[in-house]
Each structure stands twice: as C-alpha cells, then as structure tokens.
Amino acid sequence: MKTFTRYSSYTGLRPEIFKRIGTGHREVLDVGCANGTLGDAVKRRQGARVTGVEYDEGLAGEARGRLDRVVTGDLNRLDEIVAQLEGPYDCMVFADVLEHLVDPWSVLDAFTDHLAPEGEVVISLPNVGHLATFTSVFLRRTWPRRDRGLHDSTHLRWFARRDIEELLAQTSLEPVAWKRSQRFVDAPVAVNKLALLVGWVPGLRDLLTYQFVVVARRRPTP
C-alpha cells in the first residue's frame, strides 16, 4: 500500500496540521503516522504521549524510534486496529488518510468511540472540487491520476466541503474550525501564491481550495 518513495512527501512535519493540534493535548493518536515526524514534534513541544497507527512496516519501524507506541495494520480491517487502541485520546489526527480507505465513514466513527469527551479530531482531506479536477475532466475529458497529491491514484474516496460535512455528521463530531490551503494548480509553482490574493472571492473560494484541514469536536448532547 505505502512505499518510502511514493509517500516521501507525507513523512515531513506537515506544519498545516501541527499548528492545529492544541498544545494542551496530552494523549494524541496519529492515524497514518508514517515515520513519526509529526508525532515527534508534538511530543517535544508539549510533552504529550503519542501513539501512531501505520500500515507500512518500514515506516512503522522508524516511527517506533520517535513515538511512545505504534500500532500496525490495515485500516480497512478495522476491528483488528480498534482492538489495539488504548485511549481515551484527547486528540486524534487523520492527515490525508481517510481518502485512501474503502469505508472512511466507519473508520472515523469507530475511532471516535475512543475520543475523550472534550477531545478534538484534526482531519486533512484534498478537495476534489478544486479547479484541477474541472480542467482535467471537462476540458481534457479524462480523470487525472497522479503519483501523489490531489489526484493520487491510490485514493479510493473523494471529498469536497459538503462531503466532509456529511462525513462528520455520520459520527458524533461537528466542525469547529476550517483551514483552506489554496493554489491554482497541483504542482508547487510560483503562480500558486496568487491564489492567496483572489481565493477569498466567494465564486473562486472552493475552486482554489486544494486541501481542507478541519478541527472537529463531539456534538453537544441535547
């Protein structure tokens, strides 16, 4: 599923995620922790105990040198993973993970059962409603398949903003903060900086959103 070459871009710090993990959290679960770089930074910043979940054995081996505990296994075999969780966790991180799963709805719902009552979930998902999708599908008449990024060929599910809202609605979660990463094209080129200047325009906002980062909490009980 994962390899070091293919997923090298997902093994860094991920500052857009790191900034949204509250500094008061002490029990953190990083689902799809890769080599543990993000979790290690969280541990060093706030003294948290960080548990990782990772499919790739090679990456998990690296993560074990950085995190307090690493659970290995396939999230598509959900029961095997959930049985190994300890918790409760006051923060869970799903950074570019859910779109790779057969049933992300059930995965998120099952993990939420191990979330502390006042805990938070940080989720990042690529926005399929981005301009690049429309350009490829409606102008080039083909579905884009890439080695990484928005149209990574290993993605099994696709999410725009409304889909993310529905994903959360099927659990006990509700969004409390949204962050958009905006760019014109998938590739990291200079023209993407201009997206920050025009990305606030209502008609362009979702078209230029490359990725959503959502912080969610449990819905208040009536």
Residue 129 contacts residue 165 (beta carbons within 8 Å): no
Report pLDDT digits (tens) over 180-221: 887 766 666 666 676 666 666 677 788 888 899 999 999 887
d(CA 124, CA 164): 10
Report pLDDT digits (tens) over 47-77: 999 999 999 999 999 999 999 999 999 999 9
Q: Residue 192: what pLDDT?
A: 62
42: which residues sit within 8 A by CB, 6+ positions away?
18, 21, 25, 28, 30, 48, 50
Q: Residue 191: what pLDDT?
A: 65
Q: Residue 135: what pLDDT?
A: 87
User: What phi, psi does 18 have (nearest 5°)?
Assistant: -55, -40
pTM of the model: 0.89
Q: Residue 190: what pLDDT?
A: 66
User: Taking residues 83-100, what's their average pLDDT?
Assistant: 94
Report pLDDT digits (tens) over 122-132: 999 999 988 88
Where in the chain are the domains? 8-218
The one-letter code for the residue type at 95 is A
Tell me how many degrees the CA angle 180-168-98 measures, rounded to the nearest 5.
70
8-218 maps to CATH 3.40.50.620: no
Please state the length of the chain: 222
Bridging pattern class, strands 173-182 and 89-95? unpaired
